[in-house]
Amino acid sequence: MSMVQEFKEFAMKGNVMDLAVGVIIGGAFGKIVDSIVGDLIMPFIAWTMGGKLDFSGMFVLLGKVPEGTATTYDALKKAQVPMFAYGNFITILINFIILAFIIFIMVKQVNRLRKEEPPAAPAEPAEDVLLLREIRDSLKK
């Protein structure tokens, strides 16, 4: 079998196509979660903490800032100034937690909706087993 035929057979399997669809939908779903966190959750957290708190702008400088460079996260990142950006990490962590929770709920619902197969009816015992049971029962008498 040539490598092209082997690859075609592999790529056309159902699992590979399902995985490809899942990755594409997951990418789009990730953008939705980013928007939920950035546009809904983080502003609410900032409001409850009493101000305009932007987690992505929280960082500790680890190097010198070039003259004329703004001290915002984006400007420092563009200037490649070393910094410990813990606020950005917090935002990404919240994104992950929300995404993981939503996926957990979805998988739980899918598993709940799947039809459970009825238990198989017990098979009729073999003839020799029936004969041995008769012998056992007759010896007990």
Asked if pLDDT for residue 116 goes beyond 80, the answer is no
Mean pLDDT, rounded, for 25-47: 81
Mean pLDDT, rounded, for 86-99: 82
Phi, psi of 56 (to 5 degrees): -65, -15
Query: Mean pLDDT in the chain?
Result: 81
Q: What confidence score (pLDDT) does residue 65 get?
A: 85
Q: Note whether 70 and 52 are within 8 A (CB).
A: no
Structural domains of the chain, with CATH = 3-114 (1.10.1200.120)
Q: Note whether 74 and 56 are within 8 A (CB).
A: no
Q: Note whether 57 and 76 are within 8 A (CB).
A: no
